[in-house]
Amino acid sequence: MIDLDPIQPICIAGQWHQGGGDLYHSLYPATGEVIARLHAASLEDVEAAIVGADRAFRESGWAQRKPHERAAVLYRIAALIRERSEALAQLQRLDNGKPIRETRNLVASAAATFQFFAAACETLEETITPSRGDFVTLSVYEPMGVVAAITPWNSPIASEAQKLAPALAAGNAVVLKPAEVTPLAALALARICIDAGLPPGLVSVLPGKGSVIGDALTRHPLVKRVSFTGGTRTGKHIARIAADKMMPVSMELGGKSPTLVLADADLDHAVAGVLYGIFSSSGESCIAGSRLFVTREHYAPFMELLAAGAAALRVGDPADERTQMGPLITAQHRESVERYVELGLQEGGRLRTGGRRPQGEVFDRGYFYTPTIIEGLSNDARLCQEEVFGPVLVAMPFDSEEALLEEANASCYALAAGIWTRDFQRAWRLGRALQAGTVWINTYKQFSIATPFGGWRDSGLGREKGRLGILQYMEQKSLYWGLNEQPLAWAGGQR
Ligand code: NAD
């Protein structure tokens, strides 16, 4: 097990010491118990981490190592994550209350991410472009320097690996700011990076408030890129700061993803997929399928099955392997989910199931909420347009494919969508017409590190994952290599 020290040190430019900011507690959302005490980073810590990262970038030789040598360190990181996987999965469960089944998958995904970007790094090709003159032209990539990675609380270890692995593979240094309420996985990852032989200083982890630490990181002149995952409002704020610095950013933001159940869908598959799409991770998932459209002719029987399925989900102790839904992240977040449910009802919605805190001793101290389905709203209701980030599904019938597409696309978000149909042509037609970064057909919330991920519109900018995901952490450069034996004609004639 990872030792949860009474006061957790934080990692600043390769050194472990107490943060200079306020003392705060990390709580286990299932019981409200304190699982770790730590001092947030101070602004002085931010400065030290960035200056240290810049020095490590310039002096450690990491960026100059051959790609296969950097890859070797990343392969070791992947191996260490696997070696420590059970401890990491338990840590992540305590850190954010997700069921252990889920945190084991997240840890496995973090290891796979390092392995994948190690391979991407050692196989990344630079190109000789077609020459159009007396020169050879090449397109090559250079690391950027210090990258700031800012992550949310909902799947820490996976989101953090998704940024650390490609940024390090590309030869950069990374200053990582995890969400204030879930700092532990990031700190554990930093230890692993150092244990795997990453030169010290290349990774720092700065827990603390986003408006202080994240903001200072974003504004710092030595930070050359921000990779952000979190809410749309925060993302836009960071993008504005980045615009002044002319700094590239990537943004993985919120969503309100539609799921479409067509008349010819396999109903058992669709019910299971819709339940998983919205209620896994307690709905605290950017790609949660939170708006459901079901063909009117099958709406009533489908909703019967769905509501029964939702009511039967096992909400409870995250340490129990059978648990499907754990608590929400904090008491405040549960209150925000409750306010959204109330709002939906005020807007004219009807509660089909859920809409309350579960009762019983196991739930008394944690931030649990029942899987909730609300019907009777139109797509322009606030509950259908705003991200709840909790286990709340709004369900609506539809009459025609045309109206369906219009409503499904009518959102400021465009992160993901799901289609359930056995009609191949229809799946193709809808799959191409839906406006979203990811469309799942007859499945939902499946992920592959090999496949690009990101959102359109208010759901984000840029793409993570995929073999070329490493390129967002590199600057492209064109080299022209002259082959002319005579001076350039324009001035050469002067001599
Ligand atoms: P958030 O925007 O409040 O916080 C995200 C991170 O940004 C945290 O580390 C926070 O401390 C930091 N932050 C806050 N204010 C900042 C500022 N002014 N400057 C710099 N950093 C700042 O989001 P959250 O509540 O932690 O996470 C939930 C949101 O994340 C949801 O909207 C969800 O959809 C989104 N999300 C998106 C994806 C994706 O891949 N698209 C994945 C997971 C979560």
Model confidence pLDDT, tens digit, residues 250-281? 999 999 999 999 999 999 999 999 999 999 99
| Coil vs helix vs strand at 20 | coil
- Contact between 56 and 62 under an 8 Å Cβ cutoff? The reply is yes
> CA 390, 370, 184 angle in degrees (round to 5)?
50
pLDDT value, residue 1: 42
Residue type present at position 462: G
- Give the C-alpha separation, 350 to 374, whole Å: 5
Nearest CA to 403 out of 433, 423, 382 is that of 433
Q: What are the C-alpha distances in Å from 141 to residues 67, 86, 271, 326, 472?
A: 12, 37, 46, 43, 10
Q: What fold, for 258-441?
A: Aldehyde Dehydrogenase; Chain A, domain 2 (3.40.309)
Whether 406 is catalytic = no
H/E element, 273: helix 267-279
For residue 178, give the ligand 1 atom closest to its CA. Answer: 9
CB atoms within 10 A of CB 76: 18
Mean pLDDT score, 317-336: 98
Q: Is 208 close to ligand 1, i.e. is its CB under 6 Å away?
A: no
Q: What's the CA-to-centroid distance between 326 and ligand 1, angstroms?
A: 20
Burial of 72 (0-12, 13-18, 19+ CB in 10 A): middle
Whether 464 is catalytic = yes
Beta bridge partners of 480: 137
- Give the C-alpha separation, 451 to 468, whole Å: 9
The full set of domain ranges for the chain reads 10-253+459-479, 258-441
- Give the C-alpha separation, 378 to 381, whole Å: 6
Task: Examine the pLDDT at 418 and tell me if it is beyond 70.
Answer: yes
Whether 412 is catalytic = no
Output the furthest CA–CA distance in the chain (Å, rounded): 93
Q: How far is the first Cα of the chain from the last one, in angstroms, to the nearest whole number?
A: 76
Predicted TM-score (pTM) of the model is 0.97
Of the pLDDT bands very low, low, confident and very high (cuts 50, 70, 90), residue 3 is: low
Of the pLDDT bands very low, low, confident and very high (cuts 50, 70, 90), residue 495 is: low
Whether 286 is catalytic = yes
Q: What's the CA-to-centroid distance between 378 and ligand 1, angstroms?
A: 28
Task: Examine the pLDDT at 51 and tell me if it is beyond 50.
Answer: yes
Handedness of CA 71, 73, 75, 77 (dihedral sign): negative
- Give the C-alpha separation, 255 to 266, whole Å: 26
The strand ranges marked E within 178-283 are 203-205, 223-229, 249-252, 258-261
The lowest-confidence range among 63-67, 359-363, 381-385 is: 359-363
Q: Which of 181, 182, 229, 285 to mutate to test the pocket of ligand 1 (most atoms within 8 A of CB)?
A: 229
Of the pLDDT bands very low, low, confident and very high (cuts 50, 70, 90), residue 402 is: very high
- Contact between 177 and 208 under an 8 Å Cβ cutoff? The reply is yes
Q: What fold, for 10-253+459-479?
A: Aldehyde Dehydrogenase; Chain A, domain 1 (3.40.605)
Task: Examine the pLDDT at 120 and tell me if it is beyond 80.
Answer: yes
Which one of 11, 121, 193, 286 is the catalytic residue? 286
Q: Is 90 close to ligand 1, i.e. is its CB under 6 Å away?
A: no
Task: Examine the pLDDT at 323 and tell me if it is beyond 80.
Answer: yes
